[in-house]
């Protein structure tokens, strides 16, 4: 009978017994992430650990918080100040993470969300420093795994900020609206830094995409929480905060819209100029740029619609419209950036050609001057040769004497001169 049990146990991974292969399990996991609407990378956070963070489990224990507090109190701020500028991979970085965790543990719920956002900014700053360090030291390769992990740490902080906001929403809706507003502003300021950092990341995995997706999802979630909290609280403060949030988003989209409009116009002008110079150049398609203008018209209409809906009290719909406009603008901005790259390349090509022409011209001039000089030398040589062969020596002496006479100099003077 025991052999039957053994056989049953041996079947546990068999497909016919419902066993899952690693690929099946991964597929189910990704599908779960999709249903949750969260980045796979963020949810997996604890499975991605760096050697320098190997003590991260310890950091999250109450004991670690006590240790951090004692360190902060007894060693003064010297250690923490030294640690604050450290970057991943450095000795003091652990102290920095430890201090942050201690701060989070000791913070109130509303402060937690803000702190997580601050730490997210720090992580981005660290990525920028890692990239700059690699450039300064003129390394051929940057420490990509370290950068990737720091980016993941950023995404985790952003996610934890929204999680804290959700918790706050359940406890105090009015405060949640205020904090949501703060977080939304912070995320908007993070966006350029994130773009700058991620544009330099040459990552073969999907880290950058996941990180950007997390930030976008966090932004949408923050507005959702703000609206829901306002609908629950419905106070004067929450109403004013939601209006402020809406106005901030509106101002942001409008500024992006007008900036993109200027970019399109500039690109069109430059393309036309370059086409006059050389029609063979690889340039962005003007028709595509015209399409961008059509998209922008759509965004313009969306802005008007969002305003109308917001005034009617459809806050969530208004923010949804903004999200969709942001996505459209982002897609368009990616296209514009590519077009600008083409322009830069074309200009570079033209500059190279001009430089080459200049060099060729200078070389031609030098060659011509040399030719003239050579000709002069040759002529002089020829005339000298003619003189030597055609005139006898006596005649040369007479000639010389007559020349002296012609010049009006006395023989004595001539001697003096000689």
Residues 6+ away with beta carbon under 8 Å from 409: 417
Backbone angles phi, psi at 205, to 5 degrees: -95, -170
Q: Please tell me the distance from the alpha carbon of residue 91 to that of residue 97, in angstroms, as a whole number.
A: 11
Q: H or E element: which one contains 103?
A: helix 93-106
Q: Least CB distance from residue 116 to another protein, whole Å?
A: 11
Smaller CB separation from another protein, 17 or 374: 17
Question: Cα 327 to chain center, whole Å?
Answer: 18
Smaller CB separation from another protein, 36 or 202: 36
Smaller CB separation from another protein, 43 or 293: 43
Smaller CB separation from another protein, 56 or 200: 56
**By the 8 A CB rule, do 159 and 214 touch?**
yes
Q: Please tell me the distance from the alpha carbon of residue 235 to that of residue 233, in angstroms, as a whole number.
A: 6
Question: Cα 377 to chain center, whole Å?
Answer: 63
Q: Least CB distance from residue 45 to another protein, whole Å?
A: 4
**By the 8 A CB rule, do 264 and 289 touch?**
yes
Smaller CB separation from another protein, 29 or 77: 29
Smaller CB separation from another protein, 16 or 282: 16
Q: Least CB distance from residue 18 to another protein, whole Å?
A: 3
Query: Which residues sit at the interface with another protein, rule CB under 8 A?
Result: 1, 3-12, 14-20, 24-25, 27-29, 31-32, 34-36, 38, 42-47, 60-62, 156, 159-160, 163-164, 166-167, 170
How far is residue 230 from each of residues 54, 81, 111, 208, 233, measured CA to CA in Å?
41, 39, 19, 33, 5
Q: Least CB distance from residue 16 to another protein, whole Å?
A: 6
**By the 8 A CB rule, do 108 and 116 touch?**
no
Q: Least CB distance from residue 11 to another protein, whole Å?
A: 6
Q: Least CB distance from residue 326 to another protein, whole Å?
A: 25
Question: Cα 150 to chain center, whole Å?
Answer: 15
């Amino acid at each position: 009978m025991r052999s039957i049990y053994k056989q049953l146990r041996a079947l546990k991974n068999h497909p016919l017994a419902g066993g899952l292969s690693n690929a099946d399990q991964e597929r189910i996991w990704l599908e779960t992430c999709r249903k949750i609407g969260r980045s796979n990378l963020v949810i997996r956070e604890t499975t991605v650990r760096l050697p320098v963070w190997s003590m991260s489990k310890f950091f999250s224990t109450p004991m670690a918080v006590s240790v951090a507090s004692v360190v902060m109190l007894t060693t003064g701020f010297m250690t923490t100040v030294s640690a604050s500028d450290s970057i991943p991979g450095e000795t003091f970085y652990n102290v920095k993470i430890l201090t942050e965790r201690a701060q989070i543990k000791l913070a109130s719920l509303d402060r937690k969300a803000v702190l997580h956002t601050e730490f997210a900014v720090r992580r981005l700053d660290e990525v920028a420093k890692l990239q700059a360090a690699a450039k300064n030291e003129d390394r051929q390769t940057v420490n990509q795994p370290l950068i990737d992990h720091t980016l993941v740490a950023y995404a985790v902080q952003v996610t934890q900020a929204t999680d804290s906001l959700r918790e706050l929403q359940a406890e105090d809706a009015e405060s949640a609206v205020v904090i949501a507003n703060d977080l939304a502003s912070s995320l908007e300021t993070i966006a350029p830094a994130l773009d700058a950092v991620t544009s330099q990341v040459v990552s073969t995995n999907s880290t950058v995409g996941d990180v950007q997706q997390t930030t976008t999802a966090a932004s949408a979630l923050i507005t959702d929480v703000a609206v829901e909290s306002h609908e629950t609280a419905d106070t004067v403060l929450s109403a004013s905060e939601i209006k402020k949030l809406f106005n901030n988003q509106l101002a942001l989209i409008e500024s992006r819209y007008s900036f993109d409009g200027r970019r399109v116009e500039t690109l069109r002008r430059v393309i036309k100029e370059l086409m006059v110079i050389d029609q063979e150049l690889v340039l962005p398609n003007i028709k595509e740029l015209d399409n961008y203008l059509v998209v922008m018209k759509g965004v313009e209409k969306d802005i008007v619609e969002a305003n109308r809906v917001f005034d009617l009290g459809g806050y969530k719909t208004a923010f949804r419209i903004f999200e969709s406009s942001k996505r459209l603008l982002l897609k368009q901005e990616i296209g514009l950036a590519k077009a600008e790259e083409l322009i830069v390349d074309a200009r570079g090509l033209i500059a190279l050609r001009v430089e080459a022409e200049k060099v060729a011209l200078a070389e031609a001039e030098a060659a011509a001057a040399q030719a003239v000089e050579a000709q002069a030398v040759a002529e002089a040589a020829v005339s000298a040769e003619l003189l030597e062969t055609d005139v006898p020596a006596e005649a040369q002496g007479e000639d010389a004497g007559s020349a002296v006479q012609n010049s009006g100099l006395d023989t004595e003077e001539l001697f003096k001169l000689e």
